Structure 1
Amino acid sequence: MSGLVHTIQFVFGILGNAASLFLFLVPTYTFKRIIKNKSTEQFSGIPYVMAFFNCLLTAWYGLPFITSNNILVTTINGTGATIELIYVLIFLLYAPNKQKRKMILAIFVLVLVAFAAAAVISVLVFHGKNRELFCGIASTVFSIVMYAAPLSIIRLVITTKSVEYMPFLLSFAAILSCTSWFIYAILGMDPYIGISTGVGLTLGIVQLILYFCYCDKKILNKKTFAVEESQQNMDNGHSNDVNLYLP
C-alpha cells in the first residue's frame, strides 16, 4: 500500500472511529427513557447483546497478531464493547423476566461460549493467513447478523406504521459509520470489513427510507390523539389548550 493510500485509509479510520462512537452513544436516549419509565417497553435487548459480541470479535480481528494495520478497528470496537455491556446491564435491570431469561441465555451462549471458543481456536489451531481468514470470516458473519438484528424493528415499523421504536439518529449514525468503514476497507483491500459494512450500509439505507415513509404517520397519530383528547375534554365541560402540532 502506497504512503498516500495508507494516509487516506488512516483518515477514514479516524472518521470511522468518530462515527462509530456516535453510533454507540445514540442509544443513550433510549436508555434514559427506559431508566425514567423503569420499563423496556417494546424495545428489544437482543441487538445490544449482538452488538456486544460483534464488538468483541471485531476488536479481536483487529489485533496485530491477527491482522496488520488495523489497530483503529480494535480501539473503537473495544470501546464499543464496554458501552454495549453497560446497555445490556441496564436492560437486564428493567426487562421483564421473560426477556431477562432470553438475554441471559444469549449472553452465555454468544459471549462466554462462542467468543471464548473463537479466540482459543484462532490462537491454538490457526496461524498466519489462516488465522486471519478464520477470524475475518467469524467477524464478518456476526457483523452481518448484528446489522440484520434491527430487521425485527423494521417489521414492527411496517406493522404499526410508526417509527417510534426506530430512532432516526440510530439509522443515520449507522450509515455514517458503515460508509466510513466501507471506504476504509476498500482502501486497505480488506474483504471482511468491506462485506459486513456494505451489508450494514444497505440495511441502514433501508431503515432511513422506512423512516421517511412512516414519520408523517407518527405526527398524524399524535395530532389525531390530541384532537380526540381535546374533544373529550370539551364534552366533559373542561377547557384545555392542546397543541395540535406536536413534534
Structure 2
Amino acid sequence: MDSILFIIGIIGNIISVLLFISPSKTFWRIVRSGSTEEFEAAPYVFTLLNALLWLYYGLTKPDGLLIATVNGFGAVMEAIYVVLFIVYAADHATRIKAAKLAAALDIGGFGIVFAATTFAISELDLRIMVIGMICACLNVLMYGSPLAAMKTVITTKSVEFMPFFLSFFLFLNGGIWATYAVLDRDIFLGIPNGIGFILGSIQLIIYVIYMNSKVSHSSNETGEDGWQASDPLLASNA
C-alpha cells in the first residue's frame, strides 16, 4: 500500500507541476509586451497563498513529503509570477494594488496562520487539523474559480474562455490527489480535490458540448503571436 501511495503521489506531483507552469505562456507574453494589459493579479496572489499553506501542511504532517515538495515548487513559481506582475504592471495604480494584495495575503495572511498554529497550538495532531481545514477551505475556493468561465462558455457558446488543457489537467489533478487522499485517509486533501475532480469533469463535458460552436465575436482579438487576452491565469494545485 505504501508503494502504491508513493507512486500515486509522484504522478500527482507531475500533474501539479504541469499546472503550476501552465501560466508561463501568459507571463512570457507579459514580459514581451512589457505590460500586464488587462490581466488581474488576484489569481496568482491567491494561488501563492494556497501553495504556501499546503507547503506548511506538508512540512507539518509526518508523512507529507510529497505534498510539501510539489507545493514548494508551486510557491516558487507563483512568487515569480507575482513579482513579474508587479514589475510589468500596466500602470502605477495596478502595481500598488497588486503589491498591497500580495503583502496582505501572501505575507500577512500566511504569517498569521503560521504564527497562530505554531505558537498557540502545541499539540501536533490539532495543529495538523487546523492547518488542513484552512487549506481545504481555500482549495475549494480555488477549484471553484472556473465556474465563471463555465458560465461564459454556456452564454457565448464558445470554449475560447476555457482552454482544454487547463480543464483536462484540473480534472487529472483533482482525481489523482483525491485518490491519494483516500488511500492516505487524509480528509483535508480529499474533500477539495474530490470537488476539483467533479468540477473538472463538468468542464470537460461542457467543452465537448460547445467545442464545435462558432467563436464568440465578443472575445478579444488574437495577436500576431497567437496569444489571446483570454488565456488562463490561474493554475490550481494540489
Give the TM-score of the pair, scaled to structure 2.
0.81
What is the Cα deviation at residue 207 of structure 1?
2.4
Percent identity between matched residues is: 38
Matches within 5 A, 1:114-129: 114-126=109-121, 127-129=123-125
Q: Tell me which residue corresponds to 2:73.
A: 79
Instruction: Name the aligned partner's letter for residue 50 of structure 1.
Output: F
Q: Tell me which residue corresponds to 2:103.
A: 108
Task: Determine whether 1:203 maps to 2:199.
Answer: yes
Matches within 5 A, 1:6-155: 6-63=2-59, 66-97=60-91, 99-126=94-121, 127-155=123-151
Distance 1:206 1:197 in 2: 14
Residues 163, 42 of structure 1: CA spacing in aligned structure 2 closer, same or farther, 3 A cutoff? Answer: farther
Calculate the aligned-residue CA RMSD, in Å.
Answer: 2.4
Q: Tell me which residue corresponds to 1:237.
A: none
Instruction: Name the aligned partner's letter for residue 165 of structure 1.
Output: F
Distance 1:81 1:219 in 2: 35
Q: Tell me which residue corresponds to 1:166.
A: 162
SS at match of 2:213: helix
Instruction: Name the aligned partner's letter for residue 42 of structure 2.
Output: I
Instruction: Name the aligned partner's letter for residue 107 of structure 1.
Output: A
**Structure 1 residue ranges (4+ consecutive) displaced by more than 4 angstroms after TM superposition:** 218-221
Distance 1:194 1:171 in 2: 19
What is the Cα deviation at residue 200 of structure 1?
1.5
Distance 2:156 2:201 in 1: 20
Residues 156, 38 of structure 1: CA spacing in aligned structure 2 closer, same or farther, 3 A cutoff? Answer: farther
Instruction: Name the aligned partner's letter for residue 157 of structure 1.
Output: V
Q: Tell me which residue corresponds to 1:215.
A: 211
Number of aligned residues = 217
* Deviation per residue, 1:128-178 (Å, 9 max, x gap): 211111111011111112222333333443444433333221111111122
Residues 99, 202 of structure 1: CA spacing in aligned structure 2 closer, same or farther, 3 A cutoff? Answer: farther
Greater relative contact order (Cα 8 A, min sep 6): structure 1 or 2? 2
Residues 142, 28 of structure 1: CA spacing in aligned structure 2 closer, same or farther, 3 A cutoff? Answer: same
Instruction: Name the aligned partner's letter for residue 16 of structure 1.
Output: G
Distance 2:207 2:98 in 1: 27
Instruction: Verify the 8 A CA contact 2:45 2:101 in the aligned structure 1.
Output: yes
Distance 2:15 2:5 in 1: 15
Distance 2:96 2:149 in 1: 20
Task: Determine whether 1:192 maps to 2:188.
Answer: yes
Larger Rg: 1
Give the TM-score of the pair, scaled to structure 1.
0.78
